[in-house]
């Protein structure tokens, strides 16, 4: 997981044009009954919207950093839009953020549909925002927000494990929950893909530290590619190469 740097969203998208109207509809519905995902017009799947999100994340999941085809990638609501598991029936979801750019990310189906779902635990449930007038800044979410903070300061990896588990630096609770409960970062399939990449990293680090001048240069090129934000598992790559003294 890495910090996502993205530029300004495009203008005049379906989201910009229809946000207010859709929110009026949802606001009214929320007063009369529980909301369901199907109540929302999924403007976030509009090509211009999804393309921007997908391309600014280089086609990678915002959590596990695996690349997936666009159609295998979900538009993820960081704060769930229609319900919040931890808050139960009292909460209608963060419906007012359903069409907010800063609440939209791209996630793989494993992370979104098998782990994150409608979870959004807070350190203090009493500070949860229930309406659009509440101050979200009061909330202290456990899930690390890759748009706002640098996950690499909270997460590293256990290289002794054959499956390369991600772990929380200093056992911090936010890191623990993010890698083990709220995302698929430590899903078996994701760990296997990470372990596969490590084989290439190991060769690269060996050549960089022990190869001829020519091989060192080649290893440098490869290393730059591995740690680039556009590459899969670049956060893990940075962790590994720093540990090996290559960065
Ligand atoms: Zn993922």
154 found inside a domain: no
CA 185 to ligand 1 centroid distance, Å: 7
CA 17 to ligand 1 centroid distance, Å: 30
Predicted confidence at residue 90, as pLDDT, reads: 87
Taking a C-beta distance cutoff of 8 angstroms, is the pair 123, 142 a contact?
yes
What is the mean predicted confidence (pLDDT) over 64-88? 97
pLDDT tens profile 14-25 = 999 999 999 999
pLDDT tens profile 101-124 = 999 999 999 999 999 999 999 999
Predicted confidence at residue 87, as pLDDT, reads: 95
108: which strand partners? 73
Question: In sequence order, which ranges of 87-232 are alpha helices (DSSP H)?
Answer: 109, 173-177, 188-210, 213-227
Predicted confidence at residue 164, as pLDDT, reads: 86
pLDDT tens profile 140-186 = 999 999 999 999 999 999 998 777 899 999 999 999 999 999 999 99
CA 62 to ligand 1 centroid distance, Å: 7
pLDDT tens profile 81-106 = 999 999 989 899 999 999 999 999 99
> Does the pLDDT at position 29 exceed 90?
yes
225 found inside a domain: yes
Q: Are residues 137 and 23 in the same domain?
A: yes
CA 218 to ligand 1 centroid distance, Å: 30
172 found inside a domain: no
Q: Are residues 100 and 18 in the same domain?
A: yes
For 166: left if phi > 0, alpha if psi spans -120 to 50, otherwise beta; the answer is: beta
CA 29 to ligand 1 centroid distance, Å: 32
Sequence-distant (≥ 6) Cβ neighbours of residue 232 within 8 angstroms: 60, 65, 66, 67, 193, 197
pLDDT tens profile 190-242 = 999 999 999 999 999 999 999 999 999 999 999 999 999 999 999 999 999 99
What is the mean predicted confidence (pLDDT) over 29-38? 94
CA 198 to ligand 1 centroid distance, Å: 18
What is the mean predicted confidence (pLDDT) over 56-67? 98
78 found inside a domain: yes
Q: Are residues 127 and 66 in the same domain?
A: yes
Q: Are residues 91 and 193 in the same domain?
A: no
Domain count, the chain: 2
Q: Are residues 134 and 29 in the same domain?
A: yes
């Amino acid at each position: 997981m890495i910090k996502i740097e993205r530029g300004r969203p495009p203008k005049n998208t379906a989201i910009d044009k229809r946000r207010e109207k859709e929110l009026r509809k949802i606001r009214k519905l929320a007063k009369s009954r529980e909301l369901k995902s199907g109540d929302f017009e999924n403007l976030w799947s509009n090509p211009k919207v999804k393309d921007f999100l997908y391309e600014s994340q280089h086609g990678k999941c915002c959590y596990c950093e695996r690349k997936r085809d666009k159609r295998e990638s979900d538009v993820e609501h960081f704060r769930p839009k229609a319900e919040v598991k931890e808050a139960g029936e009292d909460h209608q979801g963060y419906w007012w953020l359903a069409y907010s750019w800063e609440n939209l990310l791209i996630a793989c189906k494993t992370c979104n549909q098998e782990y994150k779902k409608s979870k959004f635990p807070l350190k203090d449930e009493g500070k949860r925002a229930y309406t659009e007038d509440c101050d979200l800044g009061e909330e202290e979410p456990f899930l690390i927000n890759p748009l706002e903070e640098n996950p690499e300061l909270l997460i590293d990896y256990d290289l002794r494990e054959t499956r390369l588990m991600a772990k929380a630096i200093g056992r911090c609770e936010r890191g623990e929950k993010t890698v083990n409960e709220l995302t698929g970062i430590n899903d078996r399939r994701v760990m296997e893909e990470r372990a596969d990449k490590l084989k290439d990293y190991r060769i690269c680090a060996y050549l960089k530290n022990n190869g001829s001048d020519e091989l060192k240069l080649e290893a440098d090129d490869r290393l730059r590619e591995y740690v680039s934000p556009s590459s899969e598992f670049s956060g893990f790559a940075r962790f590994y190469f720093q540990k090996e003294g290559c960065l």
